[in-house]
């Protein structure tokens, strides 16, 4: 009888582990597909020669920001709409501030407990850095800083 109990417990643990792996794999699949499609578009359209990394930006519209180098070796960011897979815009990274500078701009005025992400996206035709963080009171905050000059665009505080 004790062997049956051990067998059932071991079987249930193995089954739960298997189900967890399958669920996590399937949950990540759409994200991977979107990123792979965006990478292919950026390379095929000739916008980039190499792709370094990608980020998902969920603003007014969902898009993938693809970072890489063009044929001249210039570092660029390409904004590709998630649904239509259309290239919305591209920017030379040397023409604006980097993520660290955007974060420092926000830190200089607001208290942060935990930084959630800093993502480059496109809003109203302008590239902006979205800085998401939790404040000291545990509230969610979004701050948008213009890529070109580091000035504040919009603040959504204490959600």
Cβ contacts of residue 48 below 8 Å, gap of 6+?
42, 66, 68, 69, 70, 76, 78
CB 144 within 8 A of CB 130: yes
Identify the CA nearest to 108 among candidates 48, 149, 151. 151
Q: Round to whole Å and give the CA distance between 84 and 11.
A: 45
Q: Round to whole Å and give the CA distance between 120 and 97.
A: 10
pLDDT at 38: 85
CB 47 within 8 A of CB 76: yes
**What sections of the chain are H helices per DSSP?**
2-44, 99-107
**What sections of 45-149 are H helices per DSSP?**
99-107
pLDDT at 113: 93
> Which residues in the chain land under pLDDT 50?
none
pLDDT at 95: 95
pLDDT at 26: 78
Predicted TM-score (pTM) of the model is 0.80
- Domains, the chain, ranges and CATH? 2-93 (3.10.450.40), 99-156 (3.10.450.40)
E strand or H helix at 68, and its extent?
Answer: strand 62-69
**pLDDT tens-digit readout, 3-30:** 888 889 999 999 999 999 988 887 777 6
What token pair was written down for 4? Answer: 């049956």
pLDDT at 42: 86
């Amino acid at each position: 009888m004790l062997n049956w109990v051990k067998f059932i417990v071991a079987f249930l643990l193995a089954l739960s582990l298997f189900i967890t792996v399958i669920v996590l794999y399937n949950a990540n699949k759409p994200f991977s597909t979107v990123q792979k499609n965006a990478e292919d578009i950026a390379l095929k359209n000739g916008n980039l020669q190499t792709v370094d990394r990608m980020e998902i930006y969920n603003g007014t519209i969902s898009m993938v920001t693809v970072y890489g180098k063009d044929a001249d070796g210039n570092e660029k960011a390409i904004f590709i709409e998630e649904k239509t897979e259309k290239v919305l815009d591209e920017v030379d990274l040397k023409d604006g501030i980097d993520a660290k500078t955007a974060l420092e701009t926000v830190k200089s005025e607001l208290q942060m407990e935990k930084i959630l992400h800093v993502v480059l996206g496109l809003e109203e035709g302008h590239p902006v850095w979205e800085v998401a963080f939790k404040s000291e009171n545990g509230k969610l905050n979004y701050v948008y800083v213009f890529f070109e000059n580091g000035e504040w665009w919009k603040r959504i505080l204490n959600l």
